Structure 1
Amino acid sequence: MIEHPRIPLAGVIGSPIAHSRSPRLHMHWLRRYGIPGHYVPMDVAQNHLREVLSALPKAGFVGVNVTIPHKETVLSLADVVTDRAALIGAANTLIFRKDGRIHADNTDGYGFIASLRQNAADWNPTRGPAAVIGAGGAARAVIASLIEVGTPEIRLVNRTRARAEALRQEFGAKVIVHDWVQAGNMLEGATTVVNASSLGMEGKPEFRIPLDALSKTAVVTDLVYTPLRTRLLEEASEIGCMTVDGLGMLIHQAAPAFERWFGSRPEVDQATRDVVMGP
């Protein structure tokens, strides 16, 4: 009997998941590099997560991405957790190893930094303070990565101050928490500004933080990519700032996972962006 090699499978687990652009992205790369694999979206309830993760490797899965609401839960289900996933307190990438163990990693911070370096050529994280809006999972990844690349001070604001204070306790003295009503003031002198909240996203409240104190030499990025050009980015552009949209982070965070699963490091280029944002 002729033995046929198994087709490698990967996917994304979350709930809901139908909106995810990850299948479009990974299938584009699979076709580009001629790899006989598939990437599928899976809507998995919290109470089924353990059972599903244990079954997937038996069906030929080499790994999965993990999104809301499972990014924290999977840390307790993994056999190996990278230092950066442990520091951030969440995983977005799982690798199913041949020895049967589940390896959990977080590539969000890597994707954030890689996107800035690709799309804001002169960006220097050590040049001055960063201002971060939001204190959820995305903000955790942003703060961890900014500290890693040498940002001297991270000014943090969140509508619920207690959540921001909790991050200061975890990440240390470089993080300085500001009151929500003073959010506009913390932009003064900031060389990097990051919206890591859902403000400005389609279906969410508008981004209304005043940008009067924003310097035109700042690099401004919004992790929101629906819409691609948010109100924050439009207003920052009018001031003269270099701006970076959220699509780059989405694509860059996927690249190391694709390489681990399928063995090829994919290129992040305009054609990839067009595919992900296409109809």
Structure 2
Amino acid sequence: MTIPYAEVIGDPIAQSKSPKIHGFWLGKLGIEADYRAAHVRPDQLADYLAERRQDPLWRGCNVTMPHKQAVMPHLDRIDSAAGAIGAVNTVLKGVESGLAGTNTDASGFLEPLKADLAETHYYRMARIIGTGGAARAIITALADKGFTLVVAGRDPDKARALLDELAPKGEHHAIHLSHFADPTDFAFDDREGCLDLVINASSLGMQGQPPLAFDWSHAPPGSIAYDIVTAPLDTPFLEGARAKGHRTIDGLSMLIGQAAVAFERFFGAATPREHDAELRALLTS
């Protein structure tokens, strides 16, 4: 390797779309650099970072499961975004400052919601399914945007602990995942002027994982359904939302959004987002 490079690390890592995304942008911009995937097991994490510290060509790495929190003790500093979320998804290498951790998941998640969030609402509510690393970023991001949150997980105590840690100022709610599985006859009030989100922030519905049991009677009229799963891209969760007339946002939106922030930090160039349609076609072919 004789050119600058960045990586994505995780265990497993073969499913990652990040090399295709970053490689696409490098090609469009004509930047002589590389981006690749590295399979790093938990017991290899410390050695991996120690080796990369010594490589002058390494610009940093994106961090996926299960390393987003485990990587933090190995870094020289952690910025406010990652500190607030309590997880790192991007490691940057400075010439003198060592290894710095940041988190681009929150900004990536919010990107397709920018137009909605620019409007004024008298009430915002988000139903969030999942209590993992992605959920941490989403909880933090939405609490900062004035949402009342309902977090559902297999362990409601864990959901409650996340809310107490990440969104202590709001009147938020933690419930068991099964709450959303059965139909409800709840009569929603007028949602005019409200912003309602229903978010799958878990791996449920992903290839090789159990399906997500969600009955759409739990979603107010006009809700936006957002699924962070990328394989398959059009999940049964999103199909069910469309069948009920809800707008949907798929997992590539967050993935591309968070990758764009990291790319600019790795390679010092703005991403060519005018080619997003072409990129999506590449990732789904």
Query: Same fold by TM (over 0.5)?
Result: yes
Deviation at 1:233, TM superposition (A): 0.8
In 1, Cα distance between equivalents of 2:41 and 2:131: 25
In 1, Cα distance between equivalents of 2:213 and 2:247: 20
Cα pair 1:15 1:43 within 8 Å, conserved: yes
Cα pair 1:125 1:192 within 8 Å, conserved: no
SS where residue 128 of structure 1 aligns? strand
Deviation at 1:19, TM superposition (A): 1.3
Greater displacement, 96-105 / 44-53: 44-53
Flag the 1:17–1:242 CA change in 2: closer, same or farther, 3 A: same
For the pair 1:98 / 2:103, whether they are aligned, the reply is no
Instruction: Name the counterpart of 2:74.
Output: 77
Q: 1:147 aligns with which of 140, 143, 155?
A: 143
Instruction: Name the counterpart of 1:182.
Output: 179
Instruction: Name the counterpart of 2:278.
Output: 271
For the pair 1:218 / 2:215, whether they are aligned, the reply is no
Instruction: Name the counterpart of 1:3.
Output: none
Deviation at 1:176, TM superposition (A): 1.1
Where does the alignment leave 5 or more consecutive residues of structure 2 unmatched? none
Cα pair 1:116 1:244 within 8 Å, conserved: no
Supply the AA of the counterpart residue of 2:146: G
**Deviation digits for residues 85-126 of structure 1, max 9, x if unmatched?**
112111010100011510100100110000333xxx446585
In 2, Cα distance between equivalents of 1:181 and 1:230: 19
Q: 2:62 aligns with which of 60, 65, 89?
A: 65
Instruction: Name the counterpart of 2:35.
Output: 39
For the pair 1:8 / 2:7, whether they are aligned, the reply is no
Supply the AA of the counterpart residue of 2:246: C
Cα pair 2:11 2:66 within 8 Å, conserved: yes
**Deviation digits for residues 203-227 of structure 1, max 9, x if unmatched?**
1111222111323311110111211
Moved over 6 A (4+): none
Where does the alignment leave 5 or more consecutive residues of structure 1 unmatched? 1-5
SS where residue 217 of structure 2 aligns? coil
**Identical-residue share of aligned pairs (%):** 36
SS where residue 206 of structure 2 aligns? coil
In 1, Cα distance between equivalents of 2:160 and 2:272: 38
Instruction: Name the counterpart of 1:22.
Output: 18
Cα pair 2:233 2:251 within 8 Å, conserved: yes
Q: How does 1:200-239 map to 2 (within 5 A)?
A: 200-239=205-244
SS where residue 226 of structure 2 aligns? strand
Instruction: Name the counterpart of 1:159.
Output: 154
**Deviation digits for residues 34-92 of structure 1, max 9, x if unmatched?**
10000111111222212221221433101111111111111111111011211211101
In 2, Cα distance between equivalents of 1:187 and 1:199: 27
Normalising by structure 1, we get a TM-score of 0.90
SS where residue 109 of structure 2 aligns? helix
Cα pair 2:212 2:237 within 8 Å, conserved: yes
In 1, Cα distance between equivalents of 2:48 and 2:174: 39
In 2, Cα distance between equivalents of 1:63 and 1:125: 38
SS where residue 215 of structure 1 aligns? coil
Greater displacement, 179-188 / 168-177: 179-188
Cα pair 2:180 2:218 within 8 Å, conserved: no
Instruction: Name the counterpart of 1:107.
Output: 104
Greater displacement, 11-20 / 180-189: 180-189
Flag the 1:87–1:26 CA change in 2: closer, same or farther, 3 A: same
SS where residue 59 of structure 2 aligns? strand
Flag the 1:50–1:213 CA change in 2: closer, same or farther, 3 A: closer
Question: What is the total number of aligned residue pairs between the two structures?
Answer: 269
